Amino acid sequence: MDELIAQITEKTGVTAEKAREMIGVTADWVRERVPADVADQVGSMLSGAGDIAGSATDAAGGAAAAATDKAGDLWNKAKGTVSGFTPGSDE
């Protein structure tokens, strides 16, 4: 897998960590679309790449949820502030 990471970083200019994530996402995508025995072979070739992609996806999901919560808090605060200035409206 190190050879593949080196090729990706050389051709795209991304970091080795980003290349690993790209490989992991690709490996997961392939595994979801091929027969189980082929998926096992892909998994063996790219051992660990899927775990990296899963961790990155989980982290991104957590960040998105936190951002959504923060945006909701800000909206509610703004709504409460602005509603006092808009006659007859609480939306």
- Are 53 and 27 spatial neighbours (Cβ–Cβ below 8 Å)? yes
Distance from C-alpha of 48 to C-alpha of 44, rounded to nearest angstrom: 9
The model carries a pTM of 0.46
Task: Please indicate, yes or no, if residue 65 is contained in any of the structural domains.
Answer: yes
Task: Please indicate, yes or no, if residue 18 is contained in any of the structural domains.
Answer: yes
Task: Please indicate, yes or no, if residue 68 is contained in any of the structural domains.
Answer: yes
Per residue in 36-65, pLDDT (tens digit) is 888 888 777 777 655 555 555 555 556 666
7-11, 15-19, 52-56, 60-64: lowest mean pLDDT where? 52-56
Domain range for 51 is 2-83
Distance from C-alpha of 63 to C-alpha of 71, rounded to nearest angstrom: 12
- Residue 25's contacts (CB-CB under 8 Å, 6 or more residues apart) are 53, 56, 57
Task: Please indicate, yes or no, if residue 88 is contained in any of the structural domains.
Answer: no
Higher pLDDT, 60 or 34: 34
Retrieve residue 79's tokens. 């709504």
Rg of the Cα atoms in the chain? 22
> Domain total for the chain?
1
